[in-house]
Amino acid sequence: MEETNRRTKFTCIIASILVALNFTAHAQNWDINSLKSINLNRNKNLDGPMTAITNSVYPIAIATPITELITGYAKHDKKIIQAGWTTIAGSGINFIVAFGLKYTVNRDRPYVTYPVLQPYQHDKDPSFPSGHSSFAFNTATSLVLHFPKWYVAVPAYAWSTTVAYSRMHLGMHYPSDVLTGAVIGATSSLLAYKGNKWILGRRKLKHSTIAE
């Protein structure tokens, strides 16, 4: 009986491993097949605009909090000032998580593994996750959290989504790189926003306690 149970457990373990390997293989196939479809079948007339969009990420990510801080201090608007510092905090979280994961996983760029791809340039840093996608969604989410208006959300997320697509159009990242980068970026902004709200709440509680 005991020997039968051992064999059953062993069979279950082997079956689980095979299922996991099969799922991983399908996921990898989807990843590269999707990228090949986007990159190799792309409209090459869009290479220029896509390159401009992909290159806009870091300038916009830097300019956004600087603009918020300059505007906030000029107008003596505490809300906008807090938005600027919170955006910087979110960018810091995003940088640590995205680039920490990038060099921990150390995934080769897709064009290294699949030379058939046509990248617009050859970067030496690892592929997973996409730093451009993470900073694009980090910036967009921060703007929407602090200025929750449709005319902020629509262009912000249209831009960040186009950035993410451009990374695949230009052959620089797998879809999984881009999706993970987007999640990390948005989550980092949300954590910074919630953290700021918590700190402000603690300060108000402390001041009210002292006043009593």
Residue spans per domain, the chain: 2-211
pLDDT tens-digit map of 34-66: 999 999 999 999 999 999 999 999 999 999 999
CATH number of the domain at 2-211, please? Answer: 1.10.606.20
| 18 pLDDT more than 60 | no
| 205 pLDDT more than 80 | no
User: Residue 62 to residues 16, 19, 124, 169: CA-CA distances in angstroms?
Assistant: 46, 44, 23, 24
> Two tokens at 107?
């995934």
CA 158 to chain centre: 15
76: left (phi over 0), alpha (psi -120 to 50) or beta: left
Query: Could you give the percent of the chain with pLDDT greater than 90?
Result: 76
> Two tokens at 129?
């996750």
pLDDT value at residue 211: 52
pLDDT tens-digit map of 67-83: 999 999 999 999 999 99
**Residue 45 per-residue DSSP state:** G
CA distance 9 to 12: 5
| 25 pLDDT more than 50 | no
